[in-house]
Amino acid sequence: MTAGIPNQSETSGQTVLYFHGLPGSAAELASFGAAIAANARHFHVVARGDALAGGEPSGYFGRLAAQIERQWPDEPLHLVGFSLGAAAALRVAPVLGARARQIDLVAPAAPLSLGDFLDDMAGAPVFRAARAGRATFAALTQLQALAARFAMPRMAAALMASARGGDAGLAADPLFLEQLAHSLRASLLTQRAAYQAELRLYVADWSADLAKLQQPVTIWQGSEDNWTPPAMAQALAAALPAAAELRMQPGLSHFSTLRRYLETAIQP
User: Is the residue at 98 inside a domain?
Assistant: yes
Contact of 254 with 226, CB cutoff 8 Å: yes
65 CB neighbour count, 10 Å cutoff: 20
Minimum mean pLDDT range among 12-16, 53-57, 121-125:
53-57
User: Is the residue at 1 inside a domain?
Assistant: no
Alpha-carbon gap, residue 202 to 209, rounded angstroms:
12
Which domain range does residue 104 map to? 8-263
What percent of the chain lies above the pLDDT cut of 70? 93
User: Is the residue at 29 inside a domain?
Assistant: yes
- For the cut 80, the answer to whether the pLDDT of residue 194 exceeds it is yes
In tens, the pLDDT along 134-189 reads 999 999 999 999 988 888 888 999 999 999 999 999 999 999 999 999 999 999 99
- For the cut 50, the answer to whether the pLDDT of residue 9 exceeds it is no
The reported pTM is: 0.93
In tens, the pLDDT along 103-113 reads 999 999 999 99
Q: Which of 2, 42, 36 is nearest to 170 (CA)?
A: 36
CATH number, domain containing residue 139: 3.40.50.1820
Contact of 224 with 165, CB cutoff 8 Å: yes
User: Is the residue at 132 inside a domain?
Assistant: yes
Q: How many domains does the chain divide into? A: 1
Q: Is the dihedral of CA 120, 124, 132, 53 positive or negative?
A: negative
User: Is the residue at 268 inside a domain?
Assistant: no
User: Is the residue at 2 inside a domain?
Assistant: no
Helices (H), the chain: 8-11, 34-39, 60-71, 84-96, 124-132, 134-150, 152-159, 167-170, 174-185, 192-203, 230-239, 254-263
Instruction: Tell me the CB-side half-sphere exposure of residue 51, using CA atoms within 13 A.
Output: 23
Cis peptide before 57 (omega within 30 of 0): no
pLDDT score at 8: 38
User: Is the residue at 110 inside a domain?
Assistant: yes
CA dihedral (246, 252, 254, 255) in degrees, to 10, reads -120
